[in-house]
């Protein structure tokens, strides 16, 4: 019976049992194609990554699965996989081939320990969201402080600005209704002093509320810069995940509409093997 090694990491945190959980199968070459989605469903994290040899100029190729489907790109899987792979490879920059693009990840170390990483995200173009009125009504929100726009990165996210962090914290969305309305995630955010509070709901992809969403953090920085809330080049800190018991910290900067980076930490919390 063949066995396949995996690593569990908590991403967008520097302590265990916080951030967003990630499973990484570090050598997926022998896993049958028809077993990939069942494995991701069995683990039931927001995402599971399967690592393969590079096909182009990257250091490795990765495939990303939610419990219900495969994604071309997602933020915390890319960052977490870079932490997992770069240790043994002793690299300060790792290029990961995803279904969307080759994503470079710059890693910062304290001695031999990786402490932080910055990933440059694929370019994303904002779009008007035609179902904004329906979405706001479903959320119980009268209006958004900024235009409600869709950014098709990762699962795709619709951004909604609320008036206060308290209004974000008290949201109680109907996940079934959200899933019926749209195949995209919903990122509700508000300024909270010097940081931004965010909650991200992605029920259409098998994730009711996501603890930390790198594919929404980059678009959020771009959204804020495009609409004058911050300047291009300003780094923002995003707090997410408190409502699901997994507090997370994400950093993002839009240097221009075409250059967006998202950063954070990650910690490896477990290693094991599946026997198939």
Give the global pTM: 0.96
Helix, strand, coil % in the chain, rounded to nearest 5 = 25, 40, 35
- pLDDT band, residue 30 (cuts 50/70/90): very high
Q: What angle do CA 239, 242, 245 make, to 5 degrees?
A: 140
Q: If DSSP codes are grouped into helix, strand and coil, which group holds residue 81?
A: helix
Instruction: Kindly name the residue from 33, 34, 42, 47 that is annotated as catalytic.
Output: 47
Question: Is residue 207 scored above 90 in pLDDT?
Answer: yes
What CA–CA distance (Å, rounded) separates 60 from 97?
Answer: 6
29 sits in which H/E element: none
Q: What's the whole-number mean pLDDT along residues 170-199?
A: 97
CATH annotation of 126-261 = 3.10.310.10
**pLDDT, position 210:** 97
**pLDDT, position 272:** 96
Ranges of CATH 3.10.310.10 domains, the chain: 3-121+263-275, 126-261
Question: Is residue 12 scored above 80 in pLDDT?
Answer: yes
**pLDDT, position 219:** 98
What CA–CA distance (Å, rounded) separates 178 from 133?
Answer: 13
CATH architecture, domain defined by 3-121+263-275 = Roll (3.10)
Tokens representing residue 239 in the block:
């707090």
- pLDDT band, residue 88 (cuts 50/70/90): confident
Tokens representing residue 21 in the block:
């959980």
Q: Any catalytic annotation for residue 47?
A: yes
- pLDDT band, residue 82 (cuts 50/70/90): very high
What CA–CA distance (Å, rounded) separates 237 from 50?
Answer: 29
Question: Is residue 1 scored above 80 in pLDDT?
Answer: no
**pLDDT, position 19:** 98
**pLDDT, position 276:** 83
Which residue from 8, 97, 19 is spatially nearest to 264, judged by alpha carbons? 19
**pLDDT, position 257:** 97
- Give percent of the chain with pLDDT exceeding 70: 100
């Amino acid at each position: 019976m063949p066995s396949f090694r995996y690593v569990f990491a908590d991403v967008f945190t520097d302590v265990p049992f916080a951030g967003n959980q990630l499973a990484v199968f570090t050598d997926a070459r022998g896993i049958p194609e028809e077993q990939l989605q069942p494995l991701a469903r069995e683990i039931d994290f927001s995402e599971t990554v399967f690592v393969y040899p590079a096909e182009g100029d990257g250091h490795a190729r990765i495939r990303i699965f939610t419990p219900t489907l495969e994604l071309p790109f997602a933020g915390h899987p890319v960052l977490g996989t870079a932490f997992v792979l770069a240790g043994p490879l002793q690299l300060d920059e790792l290029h990961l081939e995803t279904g969307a693009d080759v994503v470079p990840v710059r890693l910062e170390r304290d001695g031999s320990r990786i402490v932080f990483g910055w990933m440059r995200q694929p370019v994303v173009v904002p779009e008007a969201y035609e179902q904004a009125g329906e979405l706001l009504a479903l959320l119980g929100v009268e209006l958004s402080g900024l235009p409600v726009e869709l950014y098709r990165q990762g699962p795709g996210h619709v951004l909604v600005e609320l008036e206060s962090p308290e209004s974000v914290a008290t949201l109680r969305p109907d996940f079934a209704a959200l899933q019926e309305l749209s195949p995209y995630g919903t990122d509700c955010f508000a300024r909270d002093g010097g940081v931004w509070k965010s909650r991200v709901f992605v029920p259409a992809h098998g994730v009711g509320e996501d603890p930390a969403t790198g594919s929404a953090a980059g678009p959020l920085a771009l959204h804020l810069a495009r609409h004058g809330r911050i300047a291009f080049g300003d780094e923002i800190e995003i707090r997410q995940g408190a409502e699901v018991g997994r507090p997370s910290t994400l950093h993002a900067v839009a240097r221009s509409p075409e250059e967006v980076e998202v950063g954070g930490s990650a910690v490896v919390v477990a290693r094991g093997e599946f026997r198939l």
